[in-house]
Structure 1
Amino acid sequence: MTPQEIAQKVGQHIGTSEWAEMSQERINQFADATGDHQFIHVNEEAAKMTPFGGTIAHGFLTLSMIPYLSANSDLPKPDGIKMGVNYGGNKTRFITPVRSGKRIRGQWKLVAMDEKRPGQWQQTVEITIEIEDEEKPALICEWISMFYV
């Protein structure tokens, strides 16, 4: 799909990812990588005493799953893409904690697709990370990427 064809989809849902499990092992690895060992993430016995009833994924772990979910989705990729980079975010809201063992997936809505220079496209998407069998999503963010074709 050309970047121009993708741009025609502004305001539309453009992709859904596969489900991905937020295992305790993944949560522990993220804790080790970031140094965030707060008990609600890594101490299953202590976390049982909280309103969560068990350990939960870090909000930033859930956010950092976006590249994985994107790679395992049906999102349209611009024809001839040479490189894509994260450009930043406009807003991020952590709505519902993801309990250990739950599965998440992403839903993408295209907000904007603008050619900044010849061959350089800025894409803004609203991403909703859903939790399987939960009413409210884990997070909603507006994310900006730059594509070079």
Structure 2
Amino acid sequence: MWRLVVLYGLALAALAFLLEWLDYTRSIQHWSFEFYVTCVAVIFVLLGIWIGNRLTARPREGFARNEAAIASLGISAREVEVLEMLSAGHANKVIARHLDISPNTVKTHVARLYEKLEVASRTQAISRARELDILP
């Protein structure tokens, strides 16, 4: 933990030094305004990439599907497939085409998943399935 604190402290110190070095009055004498704006933009781009990398969810390693939860809820193998397609963000028609079933059958599977997972929306169903380790 202390290494992380030291690392963040050094990073902040480096950024403070860089901003002082790029002080507006000094840099305007030596470089053009466009260069100063470019340096600030590069700093924000790098900061955005770093924050995005830190906030992006990572897939869990060694995921093992909770078959006991699937059995206890009475979720069929086809409903698990539909749930996986829902978590990928596919629409009912796309799921139907991919699984070679009708869109009405997909609607039925989704409705039954809502009942079994005790949820009211796709987002809640996916979240509940992840809590129960049905989805990675």
Relative to the length of structure 2, the TM-score reads 0.22
Greater fraction strand: 1
Relative to the length of structure 1, the TM-score reads 0.21
Relative CO higher for 1 or 2, CA cutoff 8 Å, sep ≥ 6?
Answer: 1
> Which structure is larger by alpha-carbon Rg, 1 or 2?
2
